[in-house]
Amino acid sequence: MSLPSLAQLGQLIHSPVDYLHLYTQCEREGNLTELLTALETLPFSEIREARRARILIRLGMSEEAKILLAPHLSEPLCLAWYLALLVREVDETQLRRIITRYPVTWPLNARPTNMEAKARMHIVRGAAFVTLNMTDSAAREFSEAVRLSELLGDRLTRSVAVVEFARRDLFNNKLEKAATTYRDVLRDVPASATIAEYSMSYLTLLHWLLGWGEDGLSDWARHALCTASLGKWSGKPVQYPPEITLYKLGEVLHTLQELRSLCDAQMLYTQSPADSSIQQLLAHIQSIHLDPEANEIVRQMVQYAFALALGLTGQPEALEVLGDGVPAPTNGILQLALLHPVCQMEIQIRQQQENLESFQRHQQDFAAGFPRLSEAAQHWVARWMQHFTPYALHVVSQESVLLQEATQSCLRIEQGQAFHQSQIWPLHTITPVWVQALGQPAVVVANVLDAHLIHRKDKEKSKAFPRLASASLGKLDA
Instruction: Give 424's strand partners.
Output: 419
Q: Looking at this protein, which amino acid is placed at residue 362?
A: H
Residue 452 banded pLDDT, cuts 50, 70, 90: low
At residue 456, does pLDDT exceed 50?
A: no
Structural domain for 457, as ranges: 247-474
Q: Is residue 102 part of a domain?
A: no
The answer to whether residue 285 is domain-embedded is: yes
Residues paired with residue 413 on neighbouring β-strands, in sequence order: 418, 445
Q: Write down the pLDDT at residue 463.
A: 36
Q: Using the 8-state DSSP alphabet, how is residue 412 labeled?
A: E
Phi (first) and psi of residue 432, to 5 degrees: -55, -40
Residue 374 lies in a domain: yes
Start-to-end Cα distance in the chain: 73
Whether the CB-CB separation of 71 and 111 falls below 8 Å is answered with no
**Distance between CA atoms of 178 and 366, rounded to whole angstroms?**
25
Kindly report, residue by residue over 1-54, the tens digit of the pLDDT: 689 999 999 999 999 999 999 999 999 898 999 999 999 999 999 999 999 999
Contact by Cβ (8 Å): 359, 348: yes
**pLDDT, average across residues 391-408:** 95
Structural domain includes residue 18: no
pLDDT at residue 110 in the model: 65
Closest alpha carbon to 90 in 134, 140, 132: 132
User: Does some domain include residue 315?
Assistant: yes
Give the number of other Cβ atoms within 10 Å of residue 429's Cβ. Answer: 10
Do the domain assignments include residue 381? yes
Q: Are the C-beta atoms of 68 and 56 separated by less than 8 Å?
A: yes
User: If we measure between CA atoms, which residue out of 233, 157, 222, 148 comes closest to residue 188?
Assistant: 157
Instruction: Tell me, yes or no, whether 35 lies in a domain.
Output: no
Q: How far is CA 245 from CA 48, 123, 293, in A?
A: 29, 23, 7
- What are 333-364's pLDDT values in tens digits? 999 999 999 999 999 999 888 788 889 999 99
Q: How many domains does the chain have?
A: 1
- The reply to whether omega before 316 is within 30° of 0 (cis) is no
Q: Domain for residue 129, yes or no?
A: no
In DSSP terms, 411 is beta-bridged to 443
Rg (CA), the chain: 26
